[in-house]
Amino acid sequence: MKQVLFDAIIIGFGKAGKTLAGALAKANKRVALIEKSKEMYGGTCINIACIPTKTLASSAAQGLSFDDAMQRRGEVVGRLNTKNYHMLADNPGVTVIDGMASFEDSRTVRVTAGDETLLLTSDQIFINTGATPAIPAIPGLESSAHVFTSTEMLLAQQQPKQLAVIGGGFIGLEFASTFAQLGTKVTIFNRSDKLAASEDPSMAAAIESAIADQGITIVHDANITQVSDTDTGVAVTNHAETTEFDAVLVATGRRPFTDGLNLAAAGVDISETGAIIVNDKLETSAPGIYAMGDVTGAPQFTYLSLDDFRILRSQLLGDGNYTRAQRSPLVTVVFMQTPYARIGMTEAEARQAGRQIAVKEMPAAAIPRLHVDGKLTGLLRAIVDTDTQEVLGAALLCQNAHEVINIIKTVVDNQLPYTVLRDQIFTHPTVSESLNDLFAI
């Protein structure tokens, strides 16, 4: 069996892994990058998450048909997949290896592709295997021919006329909003008594209103006990009531993907949820082995994986000063047809922390730009500390929220007073200029 020595082995072609591979190769390291599927060159974001879902959302907003939207998704994903492959495969310092990785010991990785096996050895190994859909234990769910994960739904050949979405979290809301815009009748089965239960009540109500305004049916306090295929589709039993749909989307979260890695052989510890345990430097329990991205159980955002790369770059190629402890507050975004973006604390969290606060709300309809665009749905909310003038939190449910929130993040990261946003001269008419009024507290 052939055994090859590398300076670094990276398992997984995701955002952190591919960026690290390029940086290590630039530093004259010989790098092996292992990817189990050619369809995953570039990682989860490009192939089965951020890019295809947002391409569908954008296509739906532009009024494209389901078939045209799906075709566009395929073209965008294919283009970026190929670009990412050549970005590293054409790098003389990087060897891209197709196959399934499994640890032999803490310095050796076995790669299997069909009948071929290769042993790779290195003193530095990086695990970047991402996450996979979590499937709840509902009778009939896994055996149904009409049940889809988020990955599978992106490849749907036919548009469902009636779609059940199990789960009212970020993934469920995005798919529900997009498919409703494409013309599908959508029903969300939500286990909680309201959508966005962790948000401030007024914002949670605004999110639910935006979803309902799309014609989406929301079933709260759901308890699905059975999923069964029928002659014409799939029946979903919630409590004692059964409803038939063309398809079911399971959107109940994602779990860290470590299947088949044989982590025990390498001495890599995992948590009760299956995540690889790392410290602030992304070191695992096994010296010389690191993990980054979704597989660590951290919030599943591509920009967080990129920041994991920055930590490793600092530790391995820099001064070692940057760790997870220095990470700035994260922005979260739900790309519904009316996007929702938030940073920092909710009002409840700020009050619980004992902060002296002021809260300001304004409807999206107060923004002139949104009258121009005919996009008046939504609500904006800001929370500031009246003693320190810090921006403690902000939540934006409106068109371009995903862009405008980054302006607020810049103020938060640089510990600037909220008055900077209140007094800034923004262009007109834009959504950004609404920050003048929102922070006039």
Positions marked active-site = 428
| Three-state secondary structure of the chain | CCEEECCEEEECCCHHHHHHHHHHHHCCCCEEEEECCHHHCCCHHHHHCHHHHHHHHHHHHCCCCHHHHHHHHHHHHHHHHHHHHHHHHCCCCEEEEECEEEEEECCEEEEEECCEEEEEECCCEEECCCEEECCCCCCCCCCCCCEECHHHHCCCCCCCCEEEEECCCHHHHHHHHHHHHCCCEEEEECCCCCCCCCCCHHHHHHHHHHHHCCCCEEECCCCEEEEEECCCCEEEEECCEEEEECEEEECCCEEECCCCCCHHHHCCCECCCCCECCCCCCECCCCCEEECHHHHCCCCCHHHHHHHHHHHHHHHHCCCCCCHHHCCCCEEEECCCCCEEEEECCHHHHHHCCCCEEEEEEEHHHCHHHHHHCCCCCEEEEEEECCCCCEEEEEEECCCHHHHHHHHHHHHHCCCCCHHHHHCCCCCCCCCCHHHHHCCC
